Amino acid sequence: MTPSDAAAGPSAGRWSSLDRPPLNAAALRRALVTEGGLWTSLEVVPATGSTNTDLAAGSADLAEGAVLVAEEQTAGRGRLDRSWTAPARSGLFFSVLLKPGEGVPQERWGWLTLLAGVAAAQGLSRAAGVDTSLKWPNDLLVTVDGEERKAAGILAERVADGVVVGIGLNVTLTEDELPVPAAGSLLLAKAAVTDREPLLKAVLRTLEEWYGRWRDAGGDPAESGLQEAYAASCATLGRHVRAELPGGRALTGTAEAVDADGRLVIRTPEEEREAVGAGDVVHLRSVR
């Protein structure tokens, strides 16, 4: 038994509810770490500050496909260093190490955030039986009482020879446990499945599929089908939005497309088009 197996076992877990059992690290490894597959190692720790930080710190000594999962994340980070925290075992908090190598130009590595979003949305839709959509660039949305709410965030960070991609997903959070009113969870979205193990397996398997297609296409988002798949799942497209850009500038208009570089193309009221590569996007209203 490895330390992560012991940490995930009942004796070490701080059970807050019988509906939130610990993950079985050994069973997850048997299912996901297979010969010839992308995932090369999988560890589950009872708690950590940030799985992204931990995995990035050890990335030089790890093979591509390392997966780190935390039962509780006390200093999880989203974009712009925003915090992402939740009660122990109420969600999935994990990071993966990807090393696209020379076969994929580094200017295309930025697509990995969007790729992870597509994989999470598709994997959760299949495994949890819940409708999901994506908010550019890194949020996964569910519908709770007719309202769009953020249930997951994605953060990709460069390391020396690759990228660490972290996903934080609210699974069984109740209304009282939500960090902000605009947040949601699979439970609140009435998902058919909230067992974290099949959900994690579904997301990682779908991520492996999309990463393989993208890498085989040299990171080309059109050739791999990723650009089309992202657009099909993106709730931002066709919406009236406000993009809050670095430097304090704001851009308002209609989100029309995601271009070949993964940027959001916004058409302004003056009929000009501007591609936004970074910034916060607020959905104002639908114009469809």
Domains of the chain are 3-231 (3.30.930.10), 237-286 (2.30.30.100)
Task: Mention every residue, 6+ apart, whose C-beta is less than 8 A from residue 137.
Answer: 79, 113, 114, 117, 262, 264, 281
pLDDT recorded at residue 6: 41
pLDDT at position 286, please? 52
Q: How many helices (H) and strands (E) does the chain have?
A: 6, 14
Residue pair 250/243 in contact by the 8 Å Cβ criterion: yes
What share of the chain has pLDDT > 90, as a percent? 84
Query: What pLDDT does 4 receive?
Result: 47
14: three-class secondary structure by DSSP:
coil
Alpha-carbon span 89 to 79, nearest angstrom = 22
* 133 has a pLDDT exceeding 90: yes
CA angle centred on 239, ends 236 and 241, rounded to 5°: 85
pLDDT-based confidence at 3, cuts 50/70/90? Answer: very low
179-222 per-position pLDDT tens digit:
888 999 999 999 999 999 999 999 999 999 999 999 999 999 99
Q: How far apart are CA 163 and CA 161, in angstroms?
A: 7
pLDDT, tens digit (0-9, with 9 covering 90-100), for 139-165: 999 999 999 999 999 999 999 999 999
Pair type for strands 239-244 and 250-258: antiparallel
What is the number of other CB atoms lying within 10 angstroms of the CB of residue 257? 17
pLDDT at 279: 87
